[in-house]
Structure 1
């Protein structure tokens, strides 16, 4: 459950004790109700509750569970559905409402007849029939807005650009080709999710969101470029572009982005160049797998001393990695599987704590850097399908940690390693 809903529920519980409202209680005392869960998942007639809803003038939190495939077939349950359809529930929402969670909202639009100044949380996710969002001018203090997975959504009301208190905006899995412009600086936004908006052609201007921390643009398959203002997101912690198959490059980074610890560019099959890693010195997790057009890695990669894991598997045009300029003692995992053009491995002397090494199907690889013999903490290494590999470097010490070794289909191998 989202933190805001959880906190709201606790506050109501503190004020009212641990009393549980039954249907007959709600029918008798609707004006006392502050939190309500309307669930259509169970075979129960909740028609009286729906009628009593009109009198709930103190309601602060409303959660509606409405999913057609969960509906039961009893007469009482069908009566509940019909009652719910007949009442225009939004017309009876009180001004006191703070949380409205209504996933699978069954109608094409949502209209608020009056200003809802206390509403801070609105969730309309997975509303398959929703064509238009409400006018957000009627809820100026929204903090969290979730309209993800609304596949039929055609437009977002331009008033969303005035929600200056918005912290989290989730539009993932919507079929939106572009976003509306934000009319003023949105200093509160820290989370923006546009993942799987496959028709998306352009990103918003990030200059209006200077405090962004988490950005998800994964699987935006038509996206070719990212707005230049991206370079100014100095507070960014994580950004995910995986599956952006038309993206060729990211904007240049002209200032340090010290907060970034995760970068995911997996399946960016058109990517021609990676960013300058000198601008993200605290990067820990890097995924560049299946970037099939990528030929070189920026030399600044060799200075990522905080790096724990990097994955370059199926970068089939990559010939080599940059030299490491300092010890990368945090690196535990390295995956270069299916890098079929790879001619040489990096020097392992700079990653003394490496535990897992994947070099399978590196078909042009003929030898391994001699420093490989010093990886005393290695647990598993996989070289299967390295058809040109003839031998391994000598091991200079006992490799007690190794539990898994795969040399399958190394058809040119003349001798196996001595594992002491």
Structure 2
């Protein structure tokens, strides 16, 4: 019995290893997908719309397939990808909770998050060509972590943020970022705010609304002239 199971497992492994891109067309109910190839997967143009998790480090695609309508996706992990733009148009992502595009150096702009209102973790660290973050990120009421560390081309950030669940905001080494948004509401969950290495010139008085802030990192903020009196009240 054990011998038979081992043989069956080997056969299954061999079958998996020899899957062609076309084979995915038959996987209509695929829920979890981890892709480990980087260079020879450009012909993978079909992804199941039933996916709950897609984990593809080093994805060579410039954008996800237009036929991919992942309305059930919960976790989307595409670190160190070749992605320039996730989608060319907005698609419903109401179940999406985690989006990681860390190190995707060709990413030009972050998508419109209007159709992803339940996002909890957004990681864009090291996206060095990213210039623009859509204003919709500022109203993600369930977002807990926003990491934009090392986005050295980032110039545009929402002028107003009201992310009431946000616990950590990282803008470290966004060296071209010159302004910090107005705080709309209390944002009482925000505990750590990293602005070190930015070109921010002044902070709004509304930053005093961050009543539970434990850490404010302003190291190497050379253009910052003064701090508003509302800090520390």
TM normalised by structure 2 equals: 0.77
Deviation at 1:58, TM superposition (A): 2.7
Aligned residues, how many? 215
Q: 1:346-357 residue pairs with structure 2 within 5 A?
A: none
Aligned to 2:76: 100
Change (3 A) 1:254 1:135: closer
Tell me the distance in 2 between the aligned counterparts of 1:101 and 1:147. Answer: 11
Per-residue deviation, residues 312-343 of structure 1 (Å, max 9, x unmatched): xxxxxxxxxxxxxxxxxxxxxxxxxxxxxxxx
**CA displacement, residues 204-241 of structure 1 (integer Å, 9 cap, x when unaligned):** 12344332111000111x22322222223111122211
Provide the rounded CA distance (Å) in 2 between the counterparts of 1:94 and 1:255.
44
How far residue 126 of structure 1 moved from its aligned partner, in angstroms, is 1.9
Contact 1:186 1:210 in 2 (8 A): no
The match for 1:386 is none
User: CA separation of 1:255/1:247 partners in 2, compared to 1, >3 Å: closer, same or farther?
Assistant: closer
1:37 maps to what in 2?
Answer: 34
Alignment of 1:250-329 (within 5 A): 250-253=227-230
Aligned ranges for residues 302-381 of structure 1 at < 5 Å? none
2:71 is the counterpart of 1:89:
no
**2:140 is the counterpart of 1:143:** no
Q: CA RMSD in A?
A: 3.0
Contact 1:108 1:130 in 2 (8 A): yes
Does the Cα contact within 8 Å between 1:39 and 1:64 map onto a contact in 2?
A: yes
Q: How does 1:8-157 map to 2 (within 5 A)?
A: 22-23=16-17, 27=23, 30-40=27-37, 50=44, 53-54=46-47, 56-66=48-58, 88-89=64-65, 91-111=67-87, 112-157=89-134
Q: Aligned-pair distance for 1:39? A: 2.0
The CA distance in 2 between the partners of 1:132 and 1:248, in whole Å, is 30
Cα distance change on mapping 1:90 and 1:102 into 2, 3 Å: farther
Q: Report the Cα offset of residue 113 of structure 1.
A: 4.8
Relative distance call for 1:243 and 1:33 in structure 2 (3 A) is same
Alpha-carbon distance in structure 1 between the residues aligned to 2:83 and 2:166: 29
Write the deviation string for residues 229-264 of structure 1: whole angstroms up to 9, x where unpaired.
2223111122211111232332225655xxxxxxxx
Q: Aligned partners of 1:47 and 1:107: how far apart in 2?
A: 12
Query: Helix, strand or coil: the match of 1:122?
Result: strand
Q: Which residue of 1 aligns with 2:6?
A: none
Task: Kindly indicate whether the alpha-carbon contact (under 8 Å) linking 2:58 and 2:79 is maintained by their aligned counterparts in 1.
Answer: yes
Note if contact 2:141-2:163 (Cα within 8 Å) is conserved in structure 1.
Answer: yes
TM-score normalised to the size of structure 1?
Answer: 0.45
Structure 1 segments unaligned to the other structure (5+ residues): 1-18, 68-80, 257-420
The equivalent of 1:215 in structure 2 is: 193
- Higher alpha-carbon Rg: 1
- Residues 57 and 232 from structure 1, CA distance in 2 versus in 1: closer, same or farther, beyond 3 angstroms? closer
In 1, the alpha carbon distance for the partners of 2:184 and 2:176 equals 23
Q: In the alignment, which residue of structure 2 is the partner of 1:202?
A: 179
CA distance in 2, matches of 1:169, 1:129: 19
**2:99 is paired with a residue of what secondary structure?**
strand
Per the TM alignment, residue 22 of structure 1 is displaced from its structure 2 partner at its CA by 2.9
Distance 2:219 2:90 in 1: 41
